[in-house]
Structure 1
Amino acid sequence: MPHTELRFTVEGTAAAVRDARRRISSAVSSWDVPVDGDQLFRLELIASEMLTNGLQHAGGPLTVELRVERGGGLLVLAVLDGSRVRPRPCVAGCDHESGRGIVLIDALSLFHGTEYTDSGKRCWAVLPLSERPVRNDDEMPVNAVMESRRDDDSARWTVTSAGANVLRLLFPAT
Structure 2
Amino acid sequence: MTMHPWTHPQSQQMQLVAIPKLVLNALARGEAVDDAHSSLITPYLAGVECIGLWRMRSEQIVDTPSDAPWVTRLIIVPGVDGAVGIAGFHGAPDGAGMVEVGYRIAPEYRRRGYARRALETLLSVASASADVQIVRATISPENHPSRSLVDGYGFTEVGEQWDEEDGLETIFEVAARGSGAA
The two structures share one fold, judged by TM-score above 0.5: no
**Pairwise TM-score range, normalised by the shorter structure:** 0.3 to 0.5
Higher RCO (Cα < 8 Å, 6 or more apart): 1
Give TM-score, length-normalised by structure 1.
Answer: 0.38
Normalising by the residue count of structure 2, what TM-score does the alignment of the two structures yield? 0.36
